[in-house]
């Protein structure tokens, strides 16, 4: 319920900015390909993702949704859904305030779902052209995760205040290739559970709006649910359509 309220706040705050804006203020990409996972799932499956960015003078709004699924002999062997919404209010060309909500449902993670809401300060400390930049951000918020089973403390939820640190680095290698690095860590201020994620990717244009992307993602929990691996990895080879 807390996550749904957070998403509602973000959507409501972002919606007025969309009206009256030209289509050029929007851009996005749809992605589909093969995903190889290790950790709590050891599978090769299909990966899909949709990302949309809306940017005007004072605001930047970012939505990301992804899923992967596989089955063997009529049995589900991998199933994950992720989504995040973020809005940035830009104080000037580099500094901004962010409000972010995230949700993940991974059937084999030991959680029914994981959710968080954070807010804080960000700074685009370096930029060259439109496609090369470095963003640093820091903030605080709240985590609410629902466990599949009751833990050793007799609880079936994890809820605590968190601090969030994040880095986003994009670098244009050439007119047709882009390097992408994203790092984030969310530190529990009560139970001290630290959730860290990394995504490293290279995208190369094939023709027109069609590109190929190779990505490697890692997610690490300092205190994973009982019986679950603390580290999950994903290696993806996908086709990407920009619009």
Report all structural domains of the chain as residue ranges with CATH numbers, in order of start.
Answer: 2-13+52-199 (2.40.160.20)
pLDDT (tens digit, 9 = 90+) per residue, 159-196? 999 999 999 999 999 999 999 999 999 999 987 899 99
Per-residue pLDDT averaged across 38-64, rounded? Answer: 93
d(CA 211, CA 196): 28
pLDDT (tens digit, 9 = 90+) per residue, 133-144? 999 999 999 999
pTM: 0.85
pLDDT (tens digit, 9 = 90+) per residue, 74-110? 888 889 999 999 999 999 999 999 999 999 999 999 9
Whether the pLDDT of residue 201 is over 90: the answer is yes
């Amino acid at each position: 319920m807390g996550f749904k309220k957070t998403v509602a706040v973000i959507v409501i705050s972002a919606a007025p900015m969309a009206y009256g804006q030209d289509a050029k203020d929007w851009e996005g990409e749809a992605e589909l390909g093969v995903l190889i996972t290790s950790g709590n799932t050891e599978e090769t499956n299909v990966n899909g993702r949709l990302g949309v960015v809306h940017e005007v003078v004072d605001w930047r709004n970012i939505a990301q949704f992804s899923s992967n699924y596989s089955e063997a002999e009529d049995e589900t062997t991998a199933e994950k859904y992720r989504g995040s919404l973020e809005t940035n209010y830009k104080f000037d060309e580099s500094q901004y305030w962010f409000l972010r909500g995230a949700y993940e449902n991974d059937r084999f993670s030991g959680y029914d779902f994981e959710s968080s809401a954070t807010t804080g300060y960000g700074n685009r400390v370096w930029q060259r052209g439109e496609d090369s930049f470095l963003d640093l951000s820091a903030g605080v918020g709240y985590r609410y995760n629902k466990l599949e089973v009751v833990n050793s403390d007799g609880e079936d939820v994890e809820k605590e205040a968190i601090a969030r640190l994040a880095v986003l680095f994009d670098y244009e290698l050439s007119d047709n290739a882009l390097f992408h690095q994203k790092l984030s860590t969310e530190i529990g201020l009560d139970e001290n559970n630290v959730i860290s994620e990394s995504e490293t990717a290279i995208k190369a244009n094939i023709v027109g709006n069609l590109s190929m992307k190779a990505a490697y993602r890692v997610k690490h929990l300092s205190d994973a649910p009982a019986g679950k691996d603390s580290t999950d990895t994903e290696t993806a080879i996908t086709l990407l359509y920009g619009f």
